[in-house]
Amino acid sequence: MTVIASFAELPVKEQFDSWSHTISQTYVSLVATRYAGKVPFGGELVSQTIGSAHISEVSGGACAVARTAQTIRECDPGVLKLGLQLHGYCVLTQDGREAALTPGDLAIYDTRRQYQLSFDGTFKCLVVMFPRELLPLRGHELGQFTARRMSGRQGIGGLVAPLLLNMGRQMRMDELSANVELSSAVVNMLAAAISEQLGCESRVPPETHRAAMILRIKAFVDARLEDPELSSAGIAHAHNISPRYLQKLFESAGTTVTDWIRQRRLEHCQNDLLDPRFADMSIGAIAARWGMIDSSYFSRLFKTAYGTTPREFRAHAGEPARIGKACAGSDRAHRSD
């Protein structure tokens, strides 16, 4: 269940103290210091526990939050935090390093050792907190990755950031509790990518590597859905694996490469048909925009998936009953994959 705590409605003098107490109760024991005390601090904390991980979205005003030697002695659950900066500027300090984070950047920090987060103005962050044991790294190895900026637009961060944003959206809709797979995917991706860089892949269970590989492939495919020539052979070649192994990866997830590509294209087309920005674009152009150049074939696929033709779906897009029926059709199509 999603827990939401809003501090903006409290008296101005109580906002920061209440926020500070709540974050220490939610995460680990921390010391918070406010920079600008003459303006309302505001702030909000949205959080949910999912499997062995805890995800939250926290916001507030200019302040510093520190994990000190004293707070570590008070409580040391041995957890790691992965933070994604959503708004504002942050400087993370740990292990003798500083990471300057702007929106879209990520960083890892270890609650077993001292660290500080400094925010020079209003901010918002998405934080995933999980047991340190989930990353198969020794202490000195983990220390190489704390307080290092990772871009959310490329490399490891480019794969992890979209997953975190999806988790944040689902949490606010109170739909995250049913998606343990998503939180595991984030940790799997980190474990496989970091261990690969350190050359210690043998410590990572095979299923973790497989899950990370599937995530990489799906991110690769999502970035190329508009290409009508996108194929299993090309995807396999780009990832240095055989087409047969690629099929096995997707079979383990209960689908096939072709079905998954088709599903993602249909989802994007469905969204575009509902989007007022594309109201003047023909249905054939929308389909081609997502790599489906045969409009007749697209129409048949769309009707099979959603129970209505693209033209009918667009015409009745404003009718809740029809949209609900189409969404139900989408759910059936997804379950059949």
Q: CA 42, CA 59: separation in Å to the nearest integer?
A: 8
Buried/exposed code over 280-294 (b: 16+ C-beta within 10 A; e: otherwise): eeebbebbbbbbbee
The half-sphere exposure of 90 on its side-chain side, counting CA atoms within 13 A, is 33
Structure confidence at residue 1 as a pLDDT band (50, 70, 90) = low
**How many Å from the N-terminal Cα to the C-terminal Cα in the chain?**
28
C-alpha distance from residue 208 to each of 28, 87, 138, 195, 219 (Å)? 27, 31, 18, 11, 17
Give me the mean pLDDT over the 257-273 stretch.
92
pLDDT tens digit sequence for 269-295: 998 998 888 989 999 999 999 999 999
At residue 336, the pLDDT reads 41
Give me the mean pLDDT over the 245-269 stretch.
90
Read off φ and ψ for residue 136, nearest 5 degrees.
-80, 60
Q: CA 305, CA 159: separation in Å to the nearest integer?
A: 28
Q: CA 4, CA 45: separation in Å to the nearest integer?
A: 6
Single-letter amino acid, residue 205:
P
Asked whether the predicted pLDDT for residue 131 surpasses 70, the reply is yes
Structure confidence at residue 322 as a pLDDT band (50, 70, 90) = very low
Structure confidence at residue 84 as a pLDDT band (50, 70, 90) = very high
Domains of the chain: 3-219 (2.60.120.10), 224-336 (1.10.10.60)
Q: CA 334, CA 326: separation in Å to the nearest integer?
A: 12
At residue 141, the pLDDT reads 73
pTM score over 0.75: no
Q: What is the distance of C-alpha 112 from the center of its chain?
A: 24
Buried/exposed code over 308-337 (b: 16+ C-beta within 10 A; e: otherwise): bebeebbeebeeeebbebbeebbeebeeee
Name residues whose C-beta falls within 8 Å of residue 119's C-beta, 6 or more positions apart in sequence: 35, 60, 61, 62, 63, 64, 65, 88, 89, 90
Tokens describing residue 82: 């992965």
Asked whether the predicted pLDDT for residue 119 surpasses 50, the reply is yes
Contact 290, 225 (CB under 8 A): yes
Edge-to-edge strand list for the sheet holding 3-6: 3-6, 44-50, 53-60, 123-131, 79-87, 105-110, 150-151
At residue 320, the pLDDT reads 47
pLDDT tens digit sequence for 169-178: 878 876 666 5
pLDDT tens digit sequence for 102-118: 999 989 999 999 999 99
> Higher confidence at residue 195 or residue 221?
221
Helix (H, G, I), strand (E, B) or coil at 322: helix
At residue 198, the pLDDT reads 55
> Higher confidence at residue 329 or residue 73?
73
Give me the mean pLDDT over the 302-315 stretch.
93
Instruction: Report the candidate in 156, 218, 159 with the shortest Cα–Cα distance to residue 193.
Output: 156
Asked whether the predicted pLDDT for residue 200 surpasses 60, the reply is no
pLDDT tens digit sequence for 201-246: 445 556 666 766 777 788 788 878 999 999 999 999 988 889 999 9
Contact 107, 98 (CB under 8 A): no
pLDDT-above-70 percentage for the chain: 81
Asked whether the predicted pLDDT for residue 86 surpasses 70, the reply is yes
pLDDT tens digit sequence for 138-187: 667 777 888 989 888 776 677 778 878 878 887 887 666 655 666 666 77
What torsion do the CA atoms of 175, 177, 180, 182 make, to the nearest 10 degrees? 30
